[in-house]
Structure 1
């Protein structure tokens, strides 16, 4: 939905199952439309669409695309952003590190991403800006095993960036790609992200001209897990001249690694997604684990001030309960930063995709979770002058909060 200062807000439909276009569309009908009726009656509603490669290829068929365009018009919906991170399956099967494959060293990743931009242009009203979020270059383990990938990643980003620039000029739209820093990936911290873009520019002098089209998707969960200050991290990215393509409004688990904390974390061990763990205190990181079971199995003694931050997206609207905390303070600091610079990023997306693997006590009906997340988010935005207070209050009433 459109907010103050031209901001756009949506929830990411990667929370729903759907690898084919038929499955994706069914989820929009079953879940997105009921949420739309509850949180945005009488208003144009924005969808943060997740399309894997198969669904994108199927949607690109002429008759299918025309039917979806008519569906969007009929329901007064628009698509301003597409999640192009998972290329293949994302629910109901082991994903783990394969979520980063194919990575940006491959032409397959480039072709898929460009198809998403082509679709985005067809799904938007004239002149609208569009963003696509994507993997953080690669997984660190992939590049460690095959160092030549790094140079290949820069080459593919240059190819993709030039194509996005050409499409932006042809369509008259502001189009931009956002690489999403994530723990244990090629870019995971704000400092690594700046170095990565510097290295890209050094490898290709023409890359500097592509920075309006290739930037950063800042996921508050991921940078919170890294013990980063949102203000420092966002200032660092801005000072480096990097485009902030999108803000993912998300929150992670935090816990003291004592016996009670470790025992409680066992409920979050599951076979589908990676849940990287970063150990530290204050703004200091001591060590990282690729997945939660690795951290729980490590006998290394904890220091008295150690905290574990776990890459497990938890709902925005409620604290996870003792012994856990969450990283909503990082998200709130990012919104404070945006309040002072509302032109810095127009695309906001709530991304709590873990509903199916949440421990049962944290799981409520998915439409109710999404409505409550909208209510929480709109209240946070309205308190900063970034959204209309009446809209936030109406959503809160609908959510029963």
Structure 2
């Protein structure tokens, strides 16, 4: 089943989460005419802790979800909290995998998902950050992160839940290729795999086919796909392109930018405001800004939904698919969130079913 990620909603306590599901998820399900709707839950750390400590509360939440026709196959445990603060930027990468709080949060999510998991799920997936932002990071940090990962892996063994590391530009595991080198050294690949975010993949200018071949060669399973699209601009020097990009330069989230140079080198800056001074603009740019799957941005910009469909056409196995457009609140204009989420899920069902992904 295709899910939509609830990190688009700002609630960080259980009553607020249920209220937002009533305000958005249930109307989306009804608008789609669906008996059930997949939701990829985001639970801020205090909520996850409270649920993990209270089996009765988990049972009540499962009952509440069932009553609303909502099914859970996956959790997004990348943001720890504060994901809708006025400024998020680098704070989304804290705590890192070197910090005990990250381990505790992930363990709580394992406990919660085990009890919330839909009855027809073959497994549950939890997506998590790619260790940390790239600086500072040391050999000792690598060792500590690996030890934390082993602790979480031990907790996964008796459960149907699997962990999915999500590479992101600018992080320690910046690309899928970085993850394919790191994970076989430190992870039990039966229990830990990849969350393949197709916006992040597009931003890196990686070839989707080569990416999937590399994962197969490394024995790494894609546990989860975050169905997402990045901004692409072919001629970033042109004034029309700069003007169009300016509408997406907002202060809450980090919008990493990559430029594909003529020789194939990928040039990088860490945020959109740095791009004009930090990149030459001779080659195309891609910007980490999750775009609605069903809509194209204004020309001369476009969305990289072709990367998403190429990835899903080439995948083996049956990964969870989660539509993760968390940027609705910072998109230009004032989009209707219910209609927007419903339209994305319609697009996903129509387009991804052609690639053999069950809806």
State the TM-score, normalizing by the size of structure 2. Answer: 0.93
Match of 2:127 among 119, 133, 140: 133
Distance 1:307 1:75 in 2: 44
Distance 1:101 1:387 in 2: 34
Q: Indicate the residue corresponding to 1:314 in structure 2.
A: 291
Distance 1:91 1:289 in 2: 23
Q: Indicate the residue corresponding to 1:372 in structure 2.
A: 343
1:371–1:384 distance in 2 versus 1, CA, 3 Å: same
Q: Indicate the residue corresponding to 2:250 in structure 1.
A: 270
1:232–1:54 distance in 2 versus 1, CA, 3 Å: same
- Cα offset for 1:23? 1.9
Distance 2:217 2:257 in 1: 29
Match of 2:172 among 172, 186, 190: 186
What is the aligned residue count? 355
Distance 2:265 2:205 in 1: 7
1:33–1:211 distance in 2 versus 1, CA, 3 Å: same
Match of 2:205 among 204, 217, 227: 227
Match of 1:257 among 236, 251, 261: 236
Distance 1:348 1:35 in 2: 17
- Cα offset for 1:189? 1.6
1:187–1:353 distance in 2 versus 1, CA, 3 Å: same
Distance 2:355 2:178 in 1: 30
Please say if 1:85 is aligned against 2:63: no
Please say if 1:301 is aligned against 2:272: no
Distance 2:105 2:94 in 1: 12
Distance 2:126 2:25 in 1: 19
Please say if 1:218 is aligned against 2:175: no
- Cα offset for 1:321? 1.8
Q: CA RMSD in A?
A: 1.9
Higher helix share: 1
Structure 1 gap ranges (5+): 1-7, 201-206, 389-401
- Cα offset for 1:347? 0.5
Match of 1:152 among 144, 157, 163: 144
Verify the 8 A CA contact 1:275 1:311 in the aligned structure 2.
yes
Map 1:55-94; keep pairs closer than 5 Å. 55-60=47-52, 61-94=54-87
Q: Indicate the residue corresponding to 2:116 in structure 1.
A: 123
1:70–1:190 distance in 2 versus 1, CA, 3 Å: closer
Q: Indicate the residue corresponding to 2:220 in structure 1.
A: 242
1:185–1:283 distance in 2 versus 1, CA, 3 Å: farther
Q: Indicate the residue corresponding to 2:43 in structure 1.
A: 51
